[in-house]
Amino acid sequence: MSVTIDVPKNIDLILDMRSREEHIGKISVLKQMLWDGAESYLVSQYSHGKISKGKLSELLDLDLYGVNDLLEKYHIKSSISYDRFTKGIEIAEKIAKY
């Protein structure tokens, strides 16, 4: 997808600064900043119960281990309660017996 936007001067200065520091092009810096913003937004949506862990996984193209690492990075605790966790263990144990 291609999008044309006018970048405010202060953002352009930030792009220049990061581009020089990381030795990459401004377009790459802008893409990374856009991705970081999308990631932060989706983690916020998850932490407020607006999207599921599965949806977070799907939108960020991560497996569930990657999602757990991401949530840890943002200091977000799992939304599963202790009761649901222990019930899941019980169900898994029953299935494993068969």
Number of Cβ atoms within 10 Å of the Cβ of 28: 13
Count up the domains in the chain and report the number: 1
pTM for the whole thing?
Answer: 0.73
Task: Look at residue 73 and tell me if it is in a domain.
Answer: yes
Task: Look at residue 2 and tell me if it is in a domain.
Answer: no
Task: Look at residue 4 and tell me if it is in a domain.
Answer: no
Question: Which two tokens mark 88?
Answer: 């899941």
Half-sphere exposure of 76 (CA within 13 A, CB side): 20
Residue 17 belongs to what domain range?
Answer: 9-97
Reported as a single tens digit per residue, the pLDDT across 78-97 is: 666 677 767 778 888 888 87
Task: Look at residue 54 and tell me if it is in a domain.
Answer: yes
Task: Look at residue 1 and tell me if it is in a domain.
Answer: no
Reported as a single tens digit per residue, the pLDDT across 27-74 is: 999 999 999 999 999 999 999 989 999 999 999 999 989 999 999 999
Number of Cβ atoms within 10 Å of the Cβ of 59: 15
Task: Look at residue 40 and tell me if it is in a domain.
Answer: yes
